Structure 1
């Protein structure tokens, strides 16, 4: 691991740690994003509407138009209770506050006028008394609201039992309540609070508190109390976590067990508001017998009385984005409990989401640093898809609310930061390498250099290299016939076509020297079978040049064919960046380089286009090689044995070449022994080579013609002094 990578990992993990701690603190913005995500889930798959025994008796616009403006006198409310009870309502729950005396009561009106005998006033009817007598003995639940003034606490009509730690500090706090009329609170079968989202900043009602607490007593909400009264239950059973104080996990009322949050809230799983769930109050109070449909809707149902009239301002927003009467949410609470379709956010959800941020973030940092940003992006997208699918399936099939957004956002931030750091710092080293070596290395070799730690050491390194020199034959004569711009065009066409084979065979292009190419293999990093790849590049150059000549790519005409000579040698050389500090070239120097250059020059004397040294030939067991004799190279005190490269391994195994190699062996043996049969064997070899020019090397006949003039080069005297230069 490089220092830049170490720093990148450290910074990436620091970002992951910061994001993990941010999620653990759970700021309001993350909560809002989480809630919006869960809202979208409900919009995609809302709770299906079921025709359950729950109805809303709606004081709607039609009721106000027909029976008069709100507030109605309470004798009319009493009449509504009597009619609902007569129709068979299981419970009548009022989402209405009865905190003040009825101002429309005859007794109150006359008293306010004044000047009337008090004894006569007391004989007048009082609507609150009428209402109180109406609800007496009936399953009626009244509601109370929260107040910031006073210290009134409504009476609790049920008992509470609990398991585990005390739950009194778990629910939202009740400081004071709106008072009920004494005769009403005494005669009501149940009393529950009507607050839907106390203390919430959001206008959307997502969860309702089933309980409130003043620290000493618990107070049920209207829906829960209605469900208790409907079952005739007398006690609520609460279950808390055994190891976590001040939490509630379950509320049991009668036959129903309700999963709740730690604060005793029920996540609302709402269904679309349907007209089937409503009955107009005007229809209930209509003169005469109620219609069969109205009676069937009320009979046996838990009835909530409330208003949808816009002027009464009891409109709430659901997770589906619908504006509905507040009373319908109480009804939906009971419907949800009856249907058994609950949403829950388990205690371990927060821990799972925090852990997923830490694990996914660390994984992305590692992948971005050590593999590639593209792979990290692919893994990030996969993690995103998995998080979304897992969260959605958990919601759809188990009603679990698991947040996919926090891990996704944290992963995106981590990936962006790690990628940016890698681009700005870690990959800077690779960009330097790419700029320095991209012009003369193959993409595969350059990739290996970029991704191999310490593969490249600049400044000089002794390595075994296979070095190639390529030179154009008769270039001086060619350039004399051409204009300077035509010479440049000729060289660009030829050198571009030939140098491509160096790159394709994982070689390193060192330089272009006029009409020559210098290349080497096995640097900057190790290249397997470097001698074989150099020879394959040379053979490909031979074929490419033949194709260029045949197509007259140089515009010289069919009578003028361009030729090249290629010399290849394997030996120890020093390779590295050489030159000035501000302008350098990656190159190789040493005796091995000089030998390769001299072998290329020897192609003229040998009469063959591709020659390799004996050290290279030893690494080419499968190639079609012919002994070219031992030549004295310029600057060398001993002879250098050379081999002509006729073709690749396929040619080496052909019957024709096997026969030629046998004849060639006889020839070299005769020449070494200075046998009188040498000339005879040379003639046989010429005839055989003449028949093998198709698909092989066109220079073979000339190669054998020159052998007869170089018989002494095959003498077995490797230590004798080189007498002349090959060039």
Structure 2
């Protein structure tokens, strides 16, 4: 609320905006409103979490063999002969003791029959996983043979409750028709609209069967005497717990660029890698050479070998199997933070310092990000983004709305105050206070009344047109002196003017300003009379009487709904008016009240008498300015005068 209970436009604008932000946050948090930008913001928040969150360090279980530029230079361009790929996998098993080898590459067409047979024989002797890809778009092709489907007893819809898996429309399979027990996993990440890979389907449905991702197939892969690292009943719940509503799981980008031991394929083939360097590890073989175009954009890196996404998933599943992450769910925390942020801004905005309020708002958003980093992934649910959304909406909506309101109020203020204030003062008011300056409020003022003596008699003898001209000249001169002293013209009352200081701007020296203005008016009377003589040569010299008093009053726009004016009311105004009237009774041109005398610092005042003014219960001490003509001492304590 404004001063003295007056409502300002901001009193309804701000609550309206806060209610709008809370309402929009409720729709977003509940999923009733789910615009694309909200999901984009969720993605950015997840990216920020992986970038700022602690790294998991180098994996102790997963390693990567990269087909890099050096390998292509020595072995030859891709695709390599199948016997080379078989030889690479054989080295990893026999010389280095790899626990499993997963090939992040697809062999869609048969080549040399002997080499193809050798590769298949090796795969069926050891735990070796082939890859395949699926198309999730309408326009799809079908190449090669899909393989590695989950047995009917292990399908998510029956065994683990993972219903609603993404459905594929086409496939890129391998040259062989998979036999039961062949290990094949899909390498089909979900590429978001901004090109970043953040999720992958743990299982894809295709042609009535279900196919696991490469990381899951690696853990399910078993051979005679070599059991699966993680059977389906144990693996499925891990993926089910991390699945989102659309059937995809977030890729846990827990490692930085050096998160996995990486060796060049040519170094393995040339036996430059120490024997048993990969003993007991899950080894993924994939391309990193730029020319092979097998790269993805991750939250960490704009150009990361695609095999790293599968390495992250495999390492995460292994870690979850040993020590599952705490399934802490605190969706209420995001809601509470959002409400606290909006209510906090509402409270801070009451002081009018929006810069401090917006600083606190930004701080709340930053603190929320720190809280998120300390929570397990997904703990805040959909509400994780709400505090940030609320902050962005408040910044986007409130700042322009406040600016537009301030501009409208400035124009309104200029229209209203142009009549009262000098231009310099009006600009200062706009900068410092704005619309609130017009609201009624209690302030200590110095009030001046100045009146032309004998105006009534003059009006009887002078033509109205000439009288108007004389009045305009006098009021123009008085107004110029008031404005020069930084005063506010309250009103014109016929030939009289009322002005005051210390409103709408604070003027600590308002008493001295009022005294200086009164003295300047009286000192300028010879020049004013000379100007009047030029217009009316027969006009007698004009005399101005001034009353000045300081004290508390209510000042602001006061009136009815049909018409208001910026004015001051109160006993202080009455006393100043009575002092001006008293001037005529004691033949003085300036009389000053007790309040002004108490506040004046630069002017010396001396008492000239006492008088009980009309409407007052006690006599007042009356002062004059030393150095100016003073009336004869008087005592009009009884009866009441003026």
Report the equivalent of 1:206. 198
Greater shift in the superposed pair: 320-329 or 71-80:
71-80
Change in CA separation of 1:318 and 1:270 when aligned onto 2, cut-off 3 Å:
farther
Report the equivalent of 2:166. 172
The answer (yes or no) to whether the contact 1:192–1:221 under 8 Å persists in 2 is yes
Please point out which of 377, 385, 395 is paired with 1:412.
395
Residues 40-86 of structure 1: CA deviation (Å, up to 9, x unaligned): 55445673641523222223333334334433343333333322111
Residue correspondence of structure 1 range 604-615 to structure 2 within 5 A: 604=587, 610=591, 612=593
RMSD over equivalenced CA pairs, Å: 6.1
The answer (yes or no) to whether the contact 1:466–1:522 under 8 Å persists in 2 is yes
- The alignment partner of 1:298 has SS state of coil
Change in CA separation of 1:537 and 1:204 when aligned onto 2, cut-off 3 Å:
closer
Report the equivalent of 2:459. none
Report the equivalent of 1:116. none
Q: Distance in 2 between matches of 1:419 and 1:493?
A: 35
Once the two structures are TM-superposed, the CA of residue 89 in structure 1 deviates from its matched residue by 0.4
The answer (yes or no) to whether the contact 2:155–2:210 under 8 Å persists in 1 is no
Q: Distance in 1 between matches of 2:260 and 2:430?
A: 74
Q: Distance in 2 between matches of 1:423 and 1:508?
A: 24
- The alignment partner of 2:40 has SS state of helix
The answer (yes or no) to whether the contact 1:270–1:320 under 8 Å persists in 2 is no
Residues 632-677 of structure 1: CA deviation (Å, up to 9, x unaligned): x9xx9xxx9663348xxxxxxxxxxxxxxxxxxxxxxxxxxxxxxx
Report the equivalent of 1:283. 267
Once the two structures are TM-superposed, the CA of residue 330 in structure 1 deviates from its matched residue by 1.5
Report the equivalent of 1:26. 34
Change in CA separation of 1:381 and 1:195 when aligned onto 2, cut-off 3 Å:
same
Q: Do structure 1's residue 298 and structure 2's residue 278 form an aligned pair?
A: yes
The answer (yes or no) to whether the contact 2:610–2:622 under 8 Å persists in 1 is no
Once the two structures are TM-superposed, the CA of residue 302 in structure 1 deviates from its matched residue by 0.9
Q: Distance in 2 between matches of 1:393 and 1:323?
A: 29
Q: Distance in 2 between matches of 1:272 and 1:569?
A: 77
Count residues in correspondence. 555
Report the equivalent of 2:639. 718
Point out where structure 2 has 5 or more consecutive residues left out of the alignment: 1-5, 454-472, 524-542, 600-604
Bigger radius of gyration among the two: 1
Please point out which of 417, 423, 427 is paired with 2:406.
423
Q: Distance in 1 between matches of 2:259 and 2:548?
A: 92
- The alignment partner of 1:251 has SS state of helix
Q: Distance in 1 between matches of 2:227 and 2:148?
A: 22
Report the equivalent of 1:643. 621
Please point out which of 529, 532, 537 is paired with 2:511.
537
Please point out which of 111, 114, 127 is paired with 2:115.
127
Report the equivalent of 1:92. 101
Residue correspondence of structure 1 range 327-476 to structure 2 within 5 A: 327-337=307-317, 372=352, 375-395=353-373, 398-399=376-377, 402-403=384-385, 405-423=388-406, 430=413, 432-439=415-422, 451=436, 455=440, 468-469=448-449
Please point out which of 148, 153, 156 is paired with 1:154.
148
Q: Distance in 2 between matches of 1:328 and 1:44?
A: 19
Report the equivalent of 2:529. none
Residues 151-181 of structure 1: CA deviation (Å, up to 9, x unaligned): 9563337975989997433432245544445
Q: Distance in 1 between matches of 2:159 and 2:11?
A: 49
Please point out which of 53, 59, 71 is paired with 2:61.
53
Once the two structures are TM-superposed, the CA of residue 194 in structure 1 deviates from its matched residue by 1.5
Greater shift in the superposed pair: 426-435 or 355-364:
355-364
Once the two structures are TM-superposed, the CA of residue 386 in structure 1 deviates from its matched residue by 1.6
Once the two structures are TM-superposed, the CA of residue 88 in structure 1 deviates from its matched residue by 0.6
- The alignment partner of 2:105 has SS state of strand
Once the two structures are TM-superposed, the CA of residue 92 in structure 1 deviates from its matched residue by 0.9
Change in CA separation of 1:267 and 1:173 when aligned onto 2, cut-off 3 Å:
same
- The alignment partner of 1:295 has SS state of coil
The answer (yes or no) to whether the contact 2:50–2:253 under 8 Å persists in 1 is yes
Point out where structure 1 has 5 or more consecutive residues left out of the alignment: 106-125, 240-247, 253-257, 457-464, 474-486, 528-532, 550-562, 647-695
The answer (yes or no) to whether the contact 2:557–2:565 under 8 Å persists in 1 is no
Report the equivalent of 1:652. none
The answer (yes or no) to whether the contact 1:132–1:187 under 8 Å persists in 2 is no
Change in CA separation of 1:385 and 1:434 when aligned onto 2, cut-off 3 Å:
farther
The answer (yes or no) to whether the contact 1:57–1:305 under 8 Å persists in 2 is yes
Report the equivalent of 2:287. 307
Residues 506-550 of structure 1: CA deviation (Å, up to 9, x unaligned): x87556999x974469999xx9xxxxx99x93798389979x99x
- The alignment partner of 1:144 has SS state of strand
Q: Distance in 2 between matches of 1:71 and 1:5?
A: 69
Once the two structures are TM-superposed, the CA of residue 265 in structure 1 deviates from its matched residue by 0.6
Change in CA separation of 1:407 and 1:238 when aligned onto 2, cut-off 3 Å:
farther
Report the equivalent of 1:140. 128
The answer (yes or no) to whether the contact 1:364–1:415 under 8 Å persists in 2 is no
Q: Distance in 2 between matches of 1:48 and 1:540?
A: 74
Q: Distance in 1 between matches of 2:88 and 2:234?
A: 34
- The alignment partner of 2:266 has SS state of helix
Once the two structures are TM-superposed, the CA of residue 415 in structure 1 deviates from its matched residue by 0.6
Report the equivalent of 1:232. 228
Once the two structures are TM-superposed, the CA of residue 104 in structure 1 deviates from its matched residue by 1.9
Once the two structures are TM-superposed, the CA of residue 222 in structure 1 deviates from its matched residue by 1.1
The answer (yes or no) to whether the contact 2:607–2:623 under 8 Å persists in 1 is yes
Report the equivalent of 1:192. 185
Q: Distance in 2 between matches of 1:162 and 1:62?
A: 42
Residues 10-62 of structure 1: CA deviation (Å, up to 9, x unaligned): 86468545686578533334433443454355445673641523222223333
Q: Do structure 1's residue 325 and structure 2's residue 305 form an aligned pair?
A: yes
Once the two structures are TM-superposed, the CA of residue 280 in structure 1 deviates from its matched residue by 2.4
- The alignment partner of 2:639 has SS state of coil
Change in CA separation of 1:339 and 1:544 when aligned onto 2, cut-off 3 Å:
farther
Report the equivalent of 1:62. 70
Q: Distance in 2 between matches of 1:36 and 1:195?
A: 22
Q: Do structure 1's residue 628 and structure 2's residue 624 form an aligned pair?
A: no
Change in CA separation of 1:452 and 1:128 when aligned onto 2, cut-off 3 Å:
same
The answer (yes or no) to whether the contact 1:97–1:144 under 8 Å persists in 2 is yes
Q: Distance in 2 between matches of 1:67 and 1:444?
A: 80
Residues 210-246 of structure 1: CA deviation (Å, up to 9, x unaligned): 333459765321123324559834523479xxxxxxx
The answer (yes or no) to whether the contact 1:267–1:342 under 8 Å persists in 2 is no
Q: Distance in 1 between matches of 2:416 and 2:158?
A: 67
- The alignment partner of 1:77 has SS state of helix
The answer (yes or no) to whether the contact 1:59–1:309 under 8 Å persists in 2 is yes
Residue correspondence of structure 1 range 574-723 to structure 2 within 5 A: 595-604=578-587, 610=591, 612=593, 628=609, 643-645=621-623, 706=632, 718=639
Once the two structures are TM-superposed, the CA of residue 93 in structure 1 deviates from its matched residue by 1.0
